């Protein structure tokens, strides 16, 4: 089957990150069976309106690297070319309501009318990840279009009624990926900086939005670590907003915190970094999901919205993430997730780590997004 994934960059790297990871995950499954779904003939095309953004997370060359993975990466405009319009996808994924080009939709209609109705492309609107309860009812809801096509809303999520979250190649690229010689070694982009870490130090990765209160947070971490006689190596990913004064303060004699600047690194390398850190500060959707697969404590800087809808979304996740835990630990976790002082939650990092691993096991039990979306496509093929 041919899979066409459409991605428009709204802001930052999240849209490209999710779409690139989905394309890679589907490509990985293209020569295997997942939950009895045979997909030996799958072909993946990814259309993106800003390949420069995609290049940043795809080893500097999304087109070339994609080709090595069996993914054809194309500019958005290519979707209107005669060659593409003559071969529209069997499965069409419209990521985050990005609106397919009109000529491409017309080609989908023509594909349906020229052949049997069973050949209508399976049109999926991949939605943003949410833990809100209404996603259970909306997941896989059909939306018949006036043009005769049918669109399905696919909601990633954290319940059996939703579409799961992307797993991808986590087991191969994280530090838990076992090789014949033992645990997987660090990728080249990280090997030197990891070797520079101090013995027995706590490790923290930071990848947050610019408005995050990192100065005050890092100061509180420094104070908590000093109080417990510990050291903390902090990886600042891709130009985080730490002031000059804070950098100077934390580089002084007697500071427990050591700041380590990192450039943008490929997705696979970033996954490895999350897996070796003791706590991860993440943002948006893609890094948020990777932190959960790491099974480590994390703080989520959700994408801010002017109508404060992000606060509803954050609280919905926290209610689910801390569901069933003792009231004291729940209060500690809630405080940490909302930039509470490190002195409050630092003594409970071990308990938080155990909870994070239990949450990771829950995600495994729910099934990953790429497998579930393949199951759905297969069910549509069978039913028509």
**Does residue 177 surpass a pLDDT of 90?**
no
Specify whether the CB–CB gap between 159 and 133 falls below 8 A: no
**Does residue 317 surpass a pLDDT of 50?**
yes
Q: Give the right CATH number for 186-365 from 3.40.50.2000, 3.30.930.10, 2.30.40.10, 2.40.50.140.
A: 3.40.50.2000
Catalytic machinery residues: 15, 285
Query: What whole-number distance in Å separates Cα of residue 59 and Cα of residue 70?
Result: 15
Specify whether the CB–CB gap between 157 and 126 falls below 8 A: no
Centre a 10 Å sphere on the Cβ of residue 23 and count the other Cβ atoms it contains.
29
Domain layout of the chain by residue ranges: 2-167+368-383, 186-365
Of 9-13, 48-52, 66-70, 327-331, the one with minimum mean pLDDT is 9-13
Centre a 10 Å sphere on the Cβ of residue 362 and count the other Cβ atoms it contains.
13
Query: What whole-number distance in Å separates Cα of residue 113 and Cα of residue 219?
Result: 64
Contacts of 124 (CB under 8 A, 6+ apart): 91, 92, 93, 94, 151, 152, 154, 373, 376
Structure tokens at 364: 């495994």
**What pLDDT shows up at residue 310?**
87
**Does residue 250 surpass a pLDDT of 90?**
yes
Q: Tens digit of pLDDT for each residue in 189-215?
A: 899 999 999 999 999 999 999 889 999
Q: Tens digit of pLDDT for each residue in 23-80?
A: 999 998 875 544 444 444 558 999 999 999 999 888 899 999 999 999 999 999 999 9
Crossing angle for the helix pair 286-294 and 14-28, to the nearest 10 degrees: 60
Specify whether the CB–CB gap between 213 and 339 falls below 8 A: yes
Of 128-137, 138-147, 170-179, the one with minimum mean pLDDT is 170-179
- The yes/no answer on whether domain 2-167+368-383 falls in CATH 1.10.10 is no
Specify whether the CB–CB gap between 349 and 297 falls below 8 A: yes
To the question of pTM greater than 0.85 for the whole model, the response is: yes
Structure tokens at 383: 């039913």
Give the DSSP letter of residue 86.
T
When the pLDDT of each residue in the chain is averaged and rounded to a whole number, the result is 90
Query: What whole-number distance in Å separates Cα of residue 259 and Cα of residue 252?
Result: 11
Query: What whole-number distance in Å separates Cα of residue 373 and Cα of residue 153?
Result: 11
Q: Tens digit of pLDDT for each residue in 149-168?
A: 999 999 999 999 999 999 99
**What pLDDT shows up at residue 31?**
57
Structure tokens at 227: 């109080």
**What pLDDT shows up at residue 9?**
85
Domains 2-167+368-383 and 186-365 share a fold: yes
Average pLDDT over residues 107-114: 84
Query: What whole-number distance in Å separates Cα of residue 48 and Cα of residue 101?
Result: 12
Structure tokens at 367: 């099934």
Contacts of 263 (CB under 8 A, 6+ apart): 238
| Nearest CA among 41, 44, 64 for reference residue 54 | 64
Q: How confident is the model at residue 112 (pLDDT cuts 50, 70, 90)?
A: confident
**What pLDDT shows up at residue 176?**
67
Q: What is the share, in percent, of the chain residues with pLDDT greater than 90? A: 75
Query: What whole-number distance in Å separates Cα of residue 54 and Cα of residue 64?
Result: 12
């Amino acid at each position: 089957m041919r899979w066409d994934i459409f991605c428009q960059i709204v802001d930052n790297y999240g849209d490209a990150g999710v779409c690139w990871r989905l394309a890679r995950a589907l490509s990985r499954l293209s020569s295997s069976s997942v939950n009895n779904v045979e997909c030996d003939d799958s072909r993946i095309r990814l259309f993106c309106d800003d390949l420069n953004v995609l290049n940043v997370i795809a080893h500097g060359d999304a087109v070339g690297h994609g080709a090595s993975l069996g993914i054809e990466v194309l500019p958005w405009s290519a979707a209107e070319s005669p060659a593409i319009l003559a071969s529209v996808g069997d499965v069409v994924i419209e990521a985050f309501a990005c609106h397919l080009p009109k000529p491409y939709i017309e080609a989908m209609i023509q594909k349906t009318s020229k052949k049997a109705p069973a050949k209508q492309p399976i049109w999926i609107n991949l939605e943003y990840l949410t833990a809100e309860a209404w996603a259970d009812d909306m997941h896989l809801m059909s939306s018949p279009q006036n043009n005769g096509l049918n669109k399905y809303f696919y909601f990633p999520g954290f319940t059996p009624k939703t579409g799961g979250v992307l797993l991808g190649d986590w087991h191969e690229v994280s530090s838990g990926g076992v090789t014949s010689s033992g645990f997987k070694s660090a990728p080249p982009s990280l090997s030197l900086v990891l070797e520079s870490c101090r013995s027995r130090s706590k490790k923290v990765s930071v990848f947050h939005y610019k408005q995050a209160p990192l100065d005050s947070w890092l100061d509180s971490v420094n104070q908590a670590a000093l109080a417990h006689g510990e050291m903390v190596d902090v990886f600042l990913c891709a130009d985080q907003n730490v002031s000059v004064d804070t950098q100077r303060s934390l580089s002084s004699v007697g500071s427990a915190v050591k700041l380590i600047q990192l450039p943008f690194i490929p997705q696979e390398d970033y996954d490895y970094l999350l897996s070796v850190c003791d706590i991860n500060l993440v943002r948006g959707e893609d890094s948020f999901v990777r932190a959960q697969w790491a099974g480590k404590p994390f703080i989520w800087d959700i994408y801010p919205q002017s109508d404060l809808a992000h606060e509803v979304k954050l609280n919905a996740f926290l209610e689910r993430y801390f569901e069933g835990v003792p009231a004291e630990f729940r209060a500690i976790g809630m405080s940490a997730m909302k930039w509470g002082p490190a002195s409050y939650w630092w003594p409970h990092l071990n308990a938080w780590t155990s909870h994070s691993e239990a949450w990771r096991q829950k995600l495994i039990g729910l099934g990953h997004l790429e497998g579930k979306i393949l199951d759905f496509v297969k069910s549509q093929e069978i039913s028509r």
